Amino acid sequence: MKAAIYARVSSVGDRQDTTRQIRDLEKYASENSIDIVKSFEEHISGAKKTKDRPVLTECLDYCINNNVDILLISELSRLGRNVDDVLANVQLCKEHHLNVYFQKEQLSIFNSDGKEHPFLTIFIAVLGTCAEMERENIKYRLNSGKEKYIAEGGKVGRKAGWTKSDEKLQEQYASVIKQLKKGYPIRLVAKSEGVGVSTVQRMKKKFVDNVA
């Protein structure tokens, strides 16, 4: 059985990486006699839609066009945090008979007998809705705390004259730099990473064009 791995984290730099996800999925594949043919890694928010996530799009296209049997993902949230978008991806995989296995939830689109899992769609909808509600609650608490801090005289933003070191910039924009080195267009990188075009141009000039 041929399989691909898709791993995603939201942040760049050393704070998060995809190592654990890939390691755990490779172990699962080995224990189940599954052959990993390719792995895909992405540093981007799961709240972004599939069309704005170039690596996920590349992964799905690869699996469909190369007759991959199963796509291994560590957990449902790695595929996305928008319920409608996740369900659309699941439907796309169903239509092309591409199975997807979510390791944390121990669920897949198709069971071992080839039949669709009867509760997967309901599970995705319920779990995704709960996650969206929690994100809205967190956003509300953060905004409320920020407004209180400002009302009490606190100041937000960077101090005058403050600049980031090259090392910090490489950590913060690691995914931007990685995509630029792969030759992705500046505007596509900016859109997929949620940063300004000028920022991507600056990273390209500083860390890509100037590399011998």
Q: Kindly report the CATH number assigned to the domain that includes residue 29.
A: 3.40.50.1390
The domain boundary residue, chosen from 97, 125, 153: 125
User: What angle do helix axes 174-181 and 186-193 make, rounded to 10 degrees?
Assistant: 150
Neighbours of 37 (CB within 10 A): 14
User: Rounded distance, CA 45 to CA 8, Å?
Assistant: 8
User: Rounded distance, CA 8 to CA 54, Å?
Assistant: 12
Q: What is the residue-wise DSSP string for 18-84? A: SHHHHHHHHHHHHHTT-EEEEEEEEES-TTS-GGG-HHHHHHHHHHHHTT-SEEEES-HHHH-S-HH
Q: How confident is the model at residue 35 (pLDDT cuts 50, 70, 90)?
A: very high
Q: How confident is the model at residue 3 (pLDDT cuts 50, 70, 90)?
A: very high
Whole-Å CA distances, 172 to 117, 160, 196: 40, 20, 14
Do residue 33 and residue 119 come from a single domain? yes
In a domain, 100, yes or no: yes
In a domain, 142, yes or no: no
User: Rounded distance, CA 109 to CA 112, Å?
Assistant: 10
Segments forming the whole domain that contains residue 75: 2-125
Segment 126-135, tens digit of pLDDT? 766 666 666 6
CA proximity to 37, closest of 68, 74, 6: 68
In a domain, 25, yes or no: yes
User: Rounded distance, CA 154 to CA 146, Å?
Assistant: 9
In a domain, 152, yes or no: no
Do residue 96 and residue 170 come from a single domain? no
The domain boundary residue, chosen from 95, 125, 155: 125
In the chain, what's the furthest Cα-to-Cα distance?
A: 64
Do residue 183 and residue 114 come from a single domain? no
In a domain, 17, yes or no: yes
Do residue 106 and residue 180 come from a single domain? no
In a domain, 98, yes or no: yes
Do residue 50 and residue 115 come from a single domain? yes
Mean pLDDT of 148-161: 66
Do residue 6 and residue 111 come from a single domain? yes
Do residue 11 and residue 90 come from a single domain? yes
The domain boundary residue, chosen from 125, 154, 183: 125
pLDDT at 12: 57
Q: What is the mean pLDDT of the chain?
A: 83
Do residue 113 and residue 178 come from a single domain? no
Flag the least confident range among 14-23, 49-58, 103-112, 196-205: 14-23
Do residue 79 and residue 171 come from a single domain? no
In a domain, 141, yes or no: no
In a domain, 130, yes or no: no
Decide if 146 contacts 156 (C-beta within 8 A). Answer: yes
Spatial CB neighbours of 87, under 8 Å, sequence gap ≥ 6: 121, 124, 125
Q: How far is CA 64 from the centre of its chain?
A: 19
- Tell me the whole-structure pTM to 2 decimals: 0.61
Number of domains in the chain: 2
